[in-house]
Amino acid sequence: MEPDRRLAPAQFTEASLQVFVMCGLLALLVFVTGWWNPQFLSAYSLRSVLRDTAIWSLFALGQAIVIISGGIDLSVGSLIAFVGVLALMLLGDDFGLALPTVLVIVSSFAVFVGVLHGSLICGLNLQPFLVTLCSLLILRGLARVMTHDRTVSFDAGEHALLRTLGAGSLCGVPIPVFILAGALVPLGFFMHHTVPGRYLYAIGSNVDAARYSGVRVNALRIVSYALCSLLTAVAAVLEAGDVASVPPSNAGLAYEMYGITGAVLGGCSLRGGQGSLLGVVVGMATLRVIKSVVIFFNLSTYWTFAVTGLVLLAAVVVDSLVRARSQSR
Amino acid sequence: MALLEPLFLAAALPRYAAIYAAVTAAALTCLDLRRVSKSFPGVRALQDVSLSLSAGEVLGIVGENGAGKSTLIKILGGILRPDAGELLIDGQPRIFRRVRDAISAGIALIHQELNLAPALTVAENLYLGKQPHRGPWWFPVTNRRKLCQDSSLELERVGLSVSPRAQLGRLDLARQQLVEIAKALADQSRILVFDEPTSSLSGPEADRLLGIIEELRRRGVAIIYVSHRLGEIQRIADRVVVLRDGRHVGTLSKSETTHDRLISLMVGRRLEFADRQGSAIRREAAGLEIKNLRLAPNSPEINFSIQPGEIVGFAGIVGAGRTEVARAVFGITRRHAGEIRVHGQVVRIASPVDAIRAGLALVPEDRKSLGAILPLSISSNVSLAVLGRLGRAGRYNRRAERNVAERFRGLLGIRTRSLNATVLSLSGGNQQKVVLAKWLATEPKALILDEPTRGVDVGAKQEIYRLVQQLGQRGMAVMLISSEMEEILAVCDRVLVMHQGAIAGELTGGDVTEENIMRLAVGGVDTPHPNEVAANGTR
């Protein structure tokens, strides 16, 4: 029989359709907002949207990898605060380390946290929700203890490189966008074109069947948590560079929820086994644009959360209706 | 209207007379099933089954796996509704639409899996949903004192001496079961249906339970007792109903109940199977050899070996420990002790990864939760266990994946429109073929099949049998765990029968008959203790 080449493997068609729909929605949002208030399309505003999207997408990608493999990571926001504080303290006068050294240290720490999450979850069979909830509390607490709850900042002149990484632009495009691209390409390749990546989908769909099939379930789940923490640490450093300071009690607050929202908008299912990384970036861009929409429509910024929640709810409801329709056919 | 009524009554008179007769004939008959039938897609689970039960009687029900016992129990418990037939309680026809209806009619099921809340106390479990309370209806406060007093009385009735305040989950299984019986009695149940109640009890515990059942009978409770353990049935049942292939094939009174009669009724006579091709057993190093396998420190030792080209059936009743052996061999659960050899070589297996590397493959018993990844495509499923080998340096090779899937689609006749379709969209038989394909793609030396045709239609079953035999011809060592007698008889060169975690015996050649298998599977009276047989259970 002639192989049917018109169709890509099942999970890709569905995910790419969702990405397509989300892109349409995003374009619509941008268009309508720009039409209502042309200020939105100014270079400054667009650059800030791009920068935030890029930084947020980094940890959302990590979250998505964890969610695809059937887990969840609630510690993202606290890890952002902790890593931000840690990086700035190491750079500061007390330690006076160079930026590359600091990057190595915070990345290693993040990987350690991720491996710890994964090991507790797989080794002791603890629930991901609980383990990472504990980290959410512990890391936030430690960040505040280390700084005596005082905002840590750095001198932009002295640490120009860090400042440029977070806030600078190249040819008019914010630097974080390049960093995101640099992460997205290998991660996308990993998830969609390598065997371990494919296994992460299998684990998320049915962990027992994957284990019976000889997939190294535990090792891969640990890798997923490590990747998530690592990407979060990168986002933390960029965010610190952008804002030039890290308030330990506020930095990264509720970012885990941003990450989860972005992943779901981008087509991930919290049941695991579904989603594409490109979709997550689109989802995150949508999230960021909604934030701007609230501002440019002259609503109080207090509306941001409510509007975001409504959009997510609408997305989930529409998705489930479409799914029910396509299954009944 | 009023004019019509006498007419109507007259028409109904014969029926009333019949009911009247039934009521007077036995004031004792409390449960009456009349010509009950139930079908599932592709299977007639029950056909015209009738039986009756009186207060103070123990009715045993026996039959092979799949004879219809579970369906019957579910109908009695209101879990399933019969397609046809009547159910009468005290001569009144009743229809159970839900479990609650059966309970209010006075029927209680005592399952293998207990329906209790382990985190609550014994007393709370006894009165789940109807706790004594005081205070107004909108603010009910538990009446703890009454709860405990009432519970103590109920517990006494089943001879259980535990504190009503004890947490249920901390009791052992035997005691939990007694709590469940006490709960049924507290619910005013007059008909207790026991489904394999002793399957997870030790000898003395089972003894004690049987004593309690006898006591309940004396008090006028009507009891249905379903078990594979014929010894218990003989001891306790006043009458025994034998089911086979969904039909009621005989009722034996206490005096007629012998081991052999029961078995011959259970087994019946069946058509001979299509002729087997000559066996291809090779006399060389064993394809799969298990030595001194123990699952737990004090569990029986298991030894067996399977030659290349040999298909060895593992028979036994559900829960005899066959799946546990397969899982331990495949490295899913930990072994306490034991050596595994594949083609003569000792292999270390601590995980499925090791097992696959050693050349083993396991088609697990639960296709939907363990075998296939239903939401993924057929190609993804077929290639899952070999994905690492297909690509170079961890690269996922979609073309190779398709090729593998395409090859097995042809080889096994997986019927699908596209290999990109999800496994969910396939029929049971084709899903199982996908799982088989996944394992054959690993080119195993020994294949373990656990209930490979469960939930598979007849046509696909035949294809799977043919495939297994072909694999045998090509020199594969096959371990076939099956609860379907026909499968064992038709496909296997040799049969090992397991009973209570041990190999109770081995049957070859002409000895492979249903009677012999059943005798060993139910722990036949004339066989020595399982542990002694296990030592001789290999060749």
In a domain, A297, yes or no: yes
How many residue pairs bridge chain A and chain B with CB atoms within 8 Å of each other? Answer: 100
**Better-predicted residue by pLDDT, B209 or B114:** B209
pLDDT at residue number B437 = 94
In a domain, A304, yes or no: yes
In a domain, A60, yes or no: yes
pLDDT over threshold 60, residue B533: no
In tens, the pLDDT along A146-184 reads 999 999 988 888 888 999 998 888 898 999 999 999 999
Nearest one of A218, A187, A184, A225 to A203, comparing CA atoms = A218
pLDDT at residue number A6 = 35
Please state the rounded mean pLDDT for residues A275-289: 92
In tens, the pLDDT along A109-149 reads 999 999 999 999 999 999 999 999 999 999 999 999 999 99
Q: Are B338 and B290 in contact (CB under 8 A)?
A: yes
| B373 to A210: CB separation less than 8 angstroms, yes or no | yes
In a domain, A2, yes or no: no
For residue B418, what is the nearest residue in chain A, using CA coordinates?
A4
Q: Domain residues for A91?
A: 7-28+38-328
Cα–Cα distance for residue pair B246/B273, rounded to 1 Å: 21
B447 in A contact zone (CB under 8 Å): no
In tens, the pLDDT along B505-525 reads 999 888 888 888 888 888 764
If you average pLDDT over every residue of chain B, what do you get?
83
Q: How many domains does chain A have?
A: 1
pLDDT at residue number B528 = 43
pLDDT tier at B25 (50, 70, 90 boundaries)? very low
In tens, the pLDDT along A214-254 reads 889 999 999 999 999 999 999 999 999 999 899 999 999 98
In tens, the pLDDT along B207-244 reads 888 999 999 999 889 999 998 788 889 999 999 999 98
In a domain, A1, yes or no: no
Q: Are A80 and A243 in contact (CB under 8 A)?
A: no
Question: CA angle at residue B290 from B288 to B295, to 5 degrees?
Answer: 135
pLDDT over threshold 50, residue B1: no
Cα–Cα distance for residue pair A65/A113, rounded to 1 Å: 16
Cα–Cα distance for residue pair B61/B236, rounded to 1 Å: 11
In a domain, A33, yes or no: no
Burial of A179 (0-12, 13-18, 19+ CB in 10 A): buried
| A216 to B420: CB separation less than 8 angstroms, yes or no | no
pLDDT at residue number B15 = 52
In a domain, A255, yes or no: yes
For residue A327, what is the nearest residue in chain B, using CA coordinates?
B425
| A194 to B422: CB separation less than 8 angstroms, yes or no | no
Q: Are B315 and B486 in contact (CB under 8 A)?
A: no
Nearest-neighbour CA in chain A from B366: distance (Å):
10
In tens, the pLDDT along B245-273 reads 889 998 999 888 888 888 888 877 543 34
pLDDT at residue number B139 = 76
In a domain, A168, yes or no: yes
pLDDT at residue number B456 = 76
Percent of chain B with pLDDT over 70: 88
pLDDT over threshold 80, residue B307: yes
Nearest CB to A3; choose among B375, B377, B402: B402
Question: CA angle at residue A208 from A206 to A213, to 5 degrees?
Answer: 100
Please state the rounded mean pLDDT for residues A275-285: 92
Q: Are A242 and A153 in contact (CB under 8 A)?
A: no
What six digits make up the tokens of B91?
């001569």
pLDDT at residue number B535 = 39
B160-167 long-range contacts (CB < 8 A, ≥24 apart) are B162/B122, B163/B122, B164/B121, B164/B122, B164/B123, B164/B126, B165/B121, B165/B122, B165/B123, B166/B121, B166/B122, B167/B118, B167/B119, B167/B120, B167/B121, B167/B122
pLDDT over threshold 60, residue B18: no
pLDDT at residue number A2 = 36
pLDDT over threshold 50, residue B536: no
pLDDT at residue number B539 = 34
pLDDT tier at B16 (50, 70, 90 boundaries)? low
In tens, the pLDDT along A29-69 reads 899 988 988 888 898 999 999 999 999 999 999 999 999 99
- ipTM summary value: 0.75
**CATH, residue A150:** 1.10.3470
pLDDT at residue number A311 = 85
pLDDT at residue number A157 = 83
| A10 to B406: CB separation less than 8 angstroms, yes or no | no
pLDDT over threshold 90, residue B128: no
For residue A205, what is the nearest residue in chain B, using CA coordinates?
B373
**Better-predicted residue by pLDDT, B7 or A50:** A50
